[in-house]
Structure 1
Amino acid sequence: MTNMMKAAVYHALDDIRLEERPVPEIGPEEVLLKTLACGLCGGETMAWYKKSDPKVLGHEPIGEVVEVGAQVTDYQIGDRVFINHHVGRVDSHLSRRGHFTRDPFYASMKLDPGGVCEYYRVTAQHLRMDAHKLPDNISTDAAVTIEPWSCVMSGLKVCNIQPGDTVAVVGAGFMGQGFVHLAPFFGAGKVIALDFSDWRLEKAKFFGATHTINPKSQDAVQALRDANNGRLADTVIVIAPFPQAWADAEKLVEVGGTLHLGAPLAPGTDWVREGSRAYFDQITITSRYSSDHTDTYSYIRLLEAGRIKADEAISHRFDIKDSAEAFEMLRKAEKSLKIIVYPHGIPEDQKDA
């Protein structure tokens, strides 16, 4: 191993550079991981969400232990692991009330220096709070979905779904597909996907949608009623981060139902609700930022049990040298779902996948 490594660095939405960075040095309670694969997240295309530039791209890596600190006993060189990029703590007011991800400590804990690089450092708190050795029956590609789809798991936990409920998902990109795919584990009966892309709607059928609606060519409210015995949806999950999408999604919620906000609007963006309906229709608004250690544990067990079609959610694979091309595909959000970058080259068995 050399002291320098390749890293894909975000400078701007249209400026992703391959740079040389020092390989992180670890402390006695830390480990160094070789990055086997890292997924790209749609949130990385929201320029306002970036806290600092430049920044190493990616926060969905899967790694192999290549160096362990002197005081580390639970991990050995060669272990293949998932470690959540943010981790919480137990000794705070927010954490004790179950809001691990909203405790400022959570966002302060990060992988060093990121995901789309050849090696990354993991802190002692990461190892204590949300680290998992991966069983052999979970492929590395499938494991890349652990961080994003455990965020889906986190969201579904607060959606108030009762057995047999109809769930509508507005936006069928990778995260929307996750909500479609996992909603039945929480009791959903009919699962209805809405998107402007017929390609994504076809993918939604593969991941479990019982019905699909394209609002570009159909009246979404009427189409939903036609598919659901004249009723609207008990739970509506909106992934699209736009005020109009939120307003349109609210029109799909049945009286007494739940509207779940699955992605944030930019700061300073207003979302206005009609006051009478807000009172009389008794619609619950929920949201859930990111995933905590309980969500990743739940998701990994489902993945190990063979319940998740994770491998099929990977649509494109790139070598790290092509990170700018991969990010541009992510930005366009056309015919792609989960995009993976391989810092040490695309494995031979995945080159034709």
Structure 2
Amino acid sequence: MANSRMPLPFTCLKCPPSAPFTPLSAPKLPLPPKKPPRHTLPALQTPPGSSNPPRPGPQTCQPAPKIKNPPILSPISRKLSLLTHPNASAPIDLPKPPTTVYCSSDSDTCTTGPYYDKMPRNAPPDLTGTQTTCPLTFKWNKTTMESKTLRYLDDGSIELFVTQVGDPAEGELQLTGGACGICSWDIVTAKLGSAMFPMAPPGHEGVGYVSKIGPGVTGFKEGDRVAGGGFATVRNLSSQRVYPIPNSDLADEHWIVEPVACVVTGLDHTNLNAGETVALVGAGFMGQLLLQGLLHMPVGELIVLDIVDARLELARQQGASETIDISQHDVDDLAADLKARGIDVVVDASGSQGGLDLSADIVKSGGRINLFGWVKGQKAHFDPTKWHLGGFTIVNSSPSSKIRNTFPPAIKLIDAGVFDLRPLVTHTAHLGGYPSLMEEILAGDGSYVKGVINLD
């Protein structure tokens, strides 16, 4: 990182040889953490045989005073070209070596300096609280658009703010409008605070419409509805992370593709044989999607277990063979009864320690446990003796795209009606109503299955 900020040689690409060199006033930019040294630009020598006078000698970047409690520029927002500081202006594209000098379009003055990648002018300082002013080459994005977005704070509160988004860079698309689903990650982050999950992005179940196409992007046109993005009314994304949605009468809130892609991964890992008995532990949103997928597979019997009667009723409406309210039974007696029925596969979609324990108690010897959900924010525990003597096969349904990119098949299956979000989306709100909706979710609304934020 340090080498990328070293001074670059003066090489004027536009100015006439006789033009005086005048460094422009440059934006304040953060130094690397714990490294606020002075940077000195080397003096330029007159080329042999040239009659031009030498340009200025060494110049020094002076560190500014320490700033108490400086604001932070989110790395995720920086990657998305979103500026999270309210006083920050549009992102600027700075030249990469060897193109080290640009000339202003309205004068003969040139600037040069260290290279920074897409830092904003007037950007917040880094955690050291140090800012510097250096001669710096930059060019402004031609246009910017106002975007409404949000971020999670350390204490779990949610902050809504407005930022500016520039034109999409090479290989990027700009999306506007659409919707974004509320994931369990969002709920846990709002409950425990962003300090527990510093890399959890604010929303990743987006659908939107292509409004601008960056250089080098093919296969898309303005107005296309696509899957991708998060909680922002305008956002730039790599075209490699955006997937076209076919023409459909479904509303945006019913085209939340990302969780369906995760479910497709889970189904890939069930390794079902025709006619086997399957138990599904947990009938929340992801459990209901798994139920829809399993009902299109050659399952002999499909038993759904949960502690919320409304969820079990929804599972019955969708076609579950049997539903069991765990809270109405003695757990040991229930486990013994189910184990005697020879359950071949247990899919744990509960994401809880109790669900993990129950899965091991009810699966038959030599059976398979698919850990689709997992305990977030804490360590889970298991009985290794029970797992060993039972000869269980334990599979983790990782949603990693490195295993298989399940977005394309998920889109096909939604379009074909295999997955249907219409009965599952129970709560919707606009972006401004997100904090109050999250409070309602955290309060334990028994009717809640899935929430979606409209970004229009």
Aligned position for 1:341: 453
- Which one of the candidate residues 388, 409, 423 is aligned to 1:279? 388
CA offset digits 1:89-143 (Å, max 9, x no partner):
xxxxxxxxxxxxxxxxxxxxxx5xxx1110111114325xxx2233224442221
1:343 alignment partner AA? L
The answer on 1:33 being equivalent to 2:183 is no
- Which one of the candidate residues 361, 369, 382 is aligned to 1:259? 369
The answer on 1:288 being equivalent to 2:288 is no
SS at match of 1:22: strand
Once superposed, what is the RMSD of the aligned Cα atoms? Answer: 2.6
CA offset digits 1:17-76 (Å, max 9, x no partner):
2111222431132110013111100122234785427x7621101010001113223111
- Which one of the candidate residues 93, 103, 119 is aligned to 2:234? 119
Aligned length in residues = 307
The answer on 1:60 being equivalent to 2:205 is yes
The answer on 1:143 being equivalent to 2:270 is no
- Which one of the candidate residues 277, 295, 303 is aligned to 2:414? 303
Go from structure 1 to structure 2 and tell me whether the alpha carbon gap of 1:267 and 1:56 turns closer, same or farther (over 3 Å shift). closer
More helix by share: 1
- Which one of the candidate residues 348, 355, 367 is aligned to 1:245? 355
Give, in whole Å, the separation in 2 of the partners of 1:306 and 1:243.
33
Give the structure-1-normalised TM-score. 0.79
Asked if 1 retains the 8 angstrom alpha-carbon contact of 2:181 and 2:206, the reply is: yes
SS at match of 1:309: coil
Map of 1:107-256 to 2, 5 A cutoff?
A: 111=229, 115-127=230-242, 131-144=243-256, 146-219=257-330, 222-223=333-334, 230-256=340-366
1:177 alignment partner AA? Q
The answer on 1:80 being equivalent to 2:192 is no
Give the structure-2-normalised TM-score. 0.62
Aligned position for 2:129: none
The answer on 1:15 being equivalent to 2:143 is no
Give, in whole Å, the separation in 1 of the partners of 2:222 and 2:233.
16
Give, in whole Å, the separation in 2 of the partners of 1:5 and 1:124.
19
RCO higher in structure (CA 8 A, sep ≥6): 1
SS at match of 1:311: coil
Asked if 1 retains the 8 angstrom alpha-carbon contact of 2:167 and 2:214, the reply is: no
Q: 1:178: how far off?
A: 1.2
SS at match of 1:75: coil
Go from structure 1 to structure 2 and tell me whether the alpha carbon gap of 1:24 and 1:134 turns closer, same or farther (over 3 Å shift). farther
SS at match of 1:189: strand
Q: 1:15: how far off?
A: 0.7
Aligned position for 2:61: none
Q: Which ranges in structure 2 are unaligned for 5 or more consecutive residues?
A: 1-142
CA offset digits 1:132-169 (Å, max 9, x no partner):
2332244422211x210221110121122211111111
Map of 1:314-325 to 2, 5 A cutoff?
A: 314-325=425-436
Q: 1:267: how far off?
A: 6.2
Q: 1:291: how far off?
A: 5.2
Q: 1:309: how far off?
A: 2.3
